Amino acid sequence: MSIDPEGTPGPVVRPYAMTGGRTRSRYELAIEALVFTTPLGEERAIGLNLEQQTIAAMCRQVRSIAEIAAGLRVPLGVARVLVGDMADEGFVRVHQQPDRDEAPDLALLERVLSGLRKL
């Protein structure tokens, strides 16, 4: 287990081990993409690995990819892979703007920023 400068324990498993060495998700998930746990995810949460259980619990309330990464204390890419895997299995649903070339909704970004500040 590692200790960060503030003295709180860090993750026991290195981030690349959590994703099987993968650095990209099958999906292009924006940091502001919203994630929520499905009924299947709730039902099967006990059989998931620790990180996935944490994501399922966090996303009982809608969370952004950025909030998930911060909550797990993992790099954004790791959170994207984990969430993408869970979406493939139907454990979470992801909602994001259909056209990533458009500017994101200002209200959404303010909610994400507010959520990050609360962490």
Question: Cβ(58)–Cβ(71) under 8 Å?
Answer: yes
pLDDT of 1 strictly over 50 = no
Residue 67 has pLDDT above 60, yes or no: yes
User: Among residues of the chain, what percentage have pLDDT more than 70?
Assistant: 71
Instruction: Find, among 73, 92, 70, the residue nearest to 25 by Cα.
Output: 92
| Cβ atoms of residues 73 and 67 within 8 Å | no
Residue 115's φ and ψ, nearest 5 degrees, are -65, -40
Regarding predicted confidence, which is higher, 118 or 54?
54
Give the per-residue pLDDT at 118: 77
Q: How confident is the model at residue 9 (pLDDT cuts 50, 70, 90)?
A: low
Q: Which residue has the tokens 């056209």?
A: 99
Residues ≥6 apart with Cβ < 8 Å to 82: 18, 19, 51, 52, 55, 68, 72, 74
Query: The pTM is what?
Result: 0.67
64 SS3 class:
strand
According to DSSP, the residues that pair with 94 across neighbouring strands are 35
**Top-confidence residue, 85 or 97:** 85
Residue 98 tokens read as 């259909």
> Among 12-21, 53-62, 70-79, 96-105, which range has the highest average pLDDT?
53-62
